[in-house]
Amino acid sequence: MRTRLQLGTTPAEHTPLDDDVEDRIALAADILASRRVAVLTGAGISTDSGIPDYRSPGSPPRTPMTLEMFLSSADFRRHYWARNHLGWRHMDAALPNSAHLALTDLQRRGRVTRVLTQNVDMLHTKAGTRGVIELHGCYGRVRCLDCGWRISRHQLAVLLEAANPGFAERVRGQGAIEVAPDADTTLADTSDFAMIDCANCGGILKPDIVYFGETVPKDVVDEAYSVVDDADALIVVGSSLTVMSGLRFARRAHRAGKPLIIVNRGVTRADELAVLKIDHEAGFVLPALATF
């Protein structure tokens, strides 16, 4: 079961802060005072913007896209692009929430250096955060797997609309669309959808997103390591750190003796490394932290 969304969905109300969480936020502020802080974010920071995540408590089971699935057949890719043709619009319409804006505010005040994100939703950039490192790419770019040619998702949408007149309107007319965290949707019949190949070489087009089974490009990892190395502390927000693409940065900060603070609903793989864990919604914790 995937989250059923309409454009403009408003997030659920937060659980109120209790005394323990308030004390932990105050302690985090003390730990981070006068320190240059790097931030690593995951899907949990974007749920208040109407984008579902994979692993927070209460989330329905989801099967993320793998590279093997995408490359398995032309029919599968056509089916995928038909679903993405609808799903990316929901992600594109999403707006930054209070957690994204709080990080931008902290950066403008010189307290946050840069943000590393595992998300592909571009909400940090929409919020005005500078120098965001997108570890897993973003939904807004598409590239050819054969020649490397790139096109924006907006430009591809125009081409797909021309090749599939009325498709989006016909599906939207059937009711709310079920959207997944990677801009995918659930559609039963996509047999009449026409896919677009690379305009440069006719090769396979793929969202510029790191699927499960792929590795984050080395230059991106190296730049992210440099951000962690240059900072005095690391905050992890909204990530269970289940995959190594995020966990390695928490481990690197810990090995360097830098304070690691985790803000996440539920258990993470780095809880034992953290000097402080705040088990609460990012949308409450980060704005509160920004007031100190």
Candidates 79, 90, 136, 280; catalytic one: 136
DSSP annotation of 261 reads E
Q: If residue 230 lies in a helix (H) or strand (E), which one and from where to where?
A: helix 218-230
Active site residue 85: no
Give which of 141, 111, 115 is closest to 128, Cα–Cα: 115
Tokens representing 268? 């993470």
β-bridge partners, 142: 151, 207
Single-letter amino acid code for the residue at 181: P
Single-letter amino acid code for the residue at 90: H
CA 78 to CA 74: how far, in whole Å? 6
Packing angle, helices 282-289 and 98-108, rounded to 10: 20
β-bridge partners, 277: 262
Catalytic residue IDs = 136
